[in-house]
Structure 1
Amino acid sequence: MRRLKTGLLGLLGGVWIGGAAQAATLPGLTLVDLQGQPVSEAVLVLEGAETTAPEGEPGEAIVDQVDLEFVPRVAVVRAGTRVRFPNSDDTRHHVYSFSPAKTFELQLYQGNEAPPVEFDQSGLVVLGCNIHDSMRGYIYVVDSQIYGVSDAQGRITLPAYSEGSADRVTLWHPDMKQSMSLSLSDLRQAGGETLEIQLPFTLPETEPEPEGSGLRNRLQRYKNNGD
């Protein structure tokens, strides 16, 4: 696996692997922090890229609310996507955003009462709850057809895209002060089928949550045991 480091100026290298005629792919990517720890919930967008298969109109996405958290915490959607915000908690939530890309408010509600919200402008939308200040979520709205979010192991695999349709790569994570961008013309042949990219920050240390300490687990124990 080849490792690439990033700094304030952005990505220092990359891989371009040509596929069949009229198509190109990037290798499997793994994103890590400065300590080599895998970075989940990182967004990678191949700006301007078009899929090699016909692409339909933007559909619907779901950002749920479970145990006083947005699930997923980080979502990526195409511009024009309608997002539903079901409330799976036993308490009401009041979802809002003041972000320039989308300002909206869903006043106190439970279950599936809230109407979907259309995200029609690209950019980062930060979500909050007017009742629970600790709740934070992020919707990254893109114009590109090729994008992904890293999993728990920091991995992202992107589908093939039309060769020549993309012009740059954008990387973003909630712990980054700003997104990073580089031109695809700056990418150099690094070899191999996978690529490890080191992002310019260190993940905060977290202590594992004791088993059964989540709000939903506590409620379930109360219902089962009456205590």
Structure 2
Amino acid sequence: MKWHAKRAVSLLGFLVPLLVFGGEATKTGIIKGTITIGGKPTTDAVVSVEGLPQENLKSQISNLKSKKAVMDQREVKFIPRVLPVLAGTTVSFPNNDKTWHNVFSKSEAKPFDLGLYPAGETRSVTFDKAGVARILCNVHPNMEGYVVVKSHPYFAAPDKRGNYRINAVPLGQYRLEVWHPDLGTKMVSFNLVREGEVLTLNVDLKK
């Protein structure tokens, strides 16, 4: 299936951050767009840029501080259902429900079991390996969430309108990967060629 990219060069002249790899400033651009399912926006996806040189990624990641994220528990649901994080991120699982929960995962990316804990309590897990961790609850079998652990910072989660934005992407030819827990993965090849360029890539997961 062929995907088409629509280019949109910014006319506002905003400043795009420069990455420093090996002592040299790297020219960058921005990837943005909308993720939909049959024309309707979705938040249950992870959008990432793949194919960047590994040596560049190591330099960039070494400059990042430890991150924290939250996957809430409300109305017997994990919120958000899909949570993308950088490897090394500590994710908190607060119980803001009116019942007990037991958050666990048997996924290869991060097997763990937080045990049974009551409303008002929070327990945490550090995800240090790239991959997808399917999150479940021993008390409520219908609860299901996903922590998607990335080995680099070039990713985003769509907002309520399905919009995403990935800043400071080094110029070059890469692929945009859109992952959804129910619909799998779609990939779009693209090429950033000009410093400060804003490339719009809209993806419908059912087309």
Q: Report the structure number with the largest CA radius of gyration.
A: 1
In 2: Cα distance, 1:56 partner to 1:171 partner = 24
Q: Matched residues in 1 for 2:66 and 2:185: separation?
A: 24
Aligned length: 186
* TM-score normalised by L of structure 1: 0.69
- In the alignment, the residues of structure 2 paired with residue 196 and residue 47 of structure 1 have an alpha-carbon distance, to the nearest angstrom, of 16
Aligned-partner Cα distance in 2 for 1:141–1:43: 10
CA contact (8 A) 1:48 1:145 kept: no
Matches of 1:76 and 1:125, distance apart in 2:
10
Name whichever structure is richer in strand by fraction. 2
Q: Which residue does 2:21 correspond to in 1?
A: none
Listed as ranges, the matches of 1:154-165 within 5 Å are 154-164=162-172
User: Offset at 1:82?
Assistant: 1.1
Question: Matched residues in 2 for 1:142 and 1:87: separation?
Answer: 25
Q: 1:139 to 1:113 in 2, by over 3 A?
A: closer
Report whether the alignment pairs 1:196 with 2:194.
Answer: no
- Call closer, same or farther: CA 1:24–1:14 in 2, change over 3 Å: farther
Q: RMSD of the alignment, in Å?
A: 3.2
| 1:14 maps to amino acid | A
CA 1:65/1:161 → structure 2, altered by over 3 Å: closer, same or farther? same
Identical aligned residues as a percent: 33
Note if contact 1:46-1:144 (Cα within 8 Å) is conserved in structure 2.
Answer: no
Unaligned runs of 5+ in 1: 1-6, 202-227
- Paired letter, 2:72: D
Residue 75 of structure 1: how far off its partner (Å):
0.6
Q: Report the TM-score, using the length of structure 2 for normalisation.
A: 0.75
Deviates more, 1:88-97 or 1:13-22: 13-22
Note the C-alpha offset of 1:40: 2.3
Q: Which residue is equivalent to 1:12?
A: 3
In structure 2, the gaps of 5 or more residues are: 10-15, 19-24
Label 1:90 to 1:72 Cα distance change in 2 as closer, same or farther (>3 A).
Answer: same
Instruction: Give the direction of change, closer, same or farther, for the CA distance of 1:122–1:15 in structure 2 (3 Å limit).
Output: farther
The corresponding residue for 1:23 is 27
Aligned equivalents of 2:127 and 2:138: distance in 1? Answer: 20
